[in-house]
Amino acid sequence: MPSKAMTLTYQDSALPIVWIDGLEEKLARCRQSMEEVDLKLRREKLSPEGRKSLERERNLLMTKADNYEKELSVLRKENRKNAALAVAMALLIALIYACWTM
């Protein structure tokens, strides 16, 4: 389920796809930051404290990425439901129109 803050922002958004796009951008930035941290961990000589700090940052970024992926999954599922409902309503209106004009 989306978090309360996410739900409020999602409901305020005129287009759910805008919210999905925003989360995808956040996820991409998070993954890029994770790659940068991994690169630093592999290539740079770090003190034990520096290494531990970067590992904590990487773990935090991994947690954020997981949360973004879960939120995206929920929003995409909701978007598919809404699309199916819109198609069903359009078909129903077309059927009613066809019956009315016969």
pLDDT tens per residue, range 49-80: 999 999 999 999 999 999 999 999 999 998 89
Residue 102 has pLDDT above 50, yes or no: yes
What is residue 14's predicted lDDT score, i.e. its pLDDT?
56
Calculate helix-pair angle for 48-101, 16-43, nearest 10 degrees.
Answer: 160
CB 16 within 8 A of CB 76: no
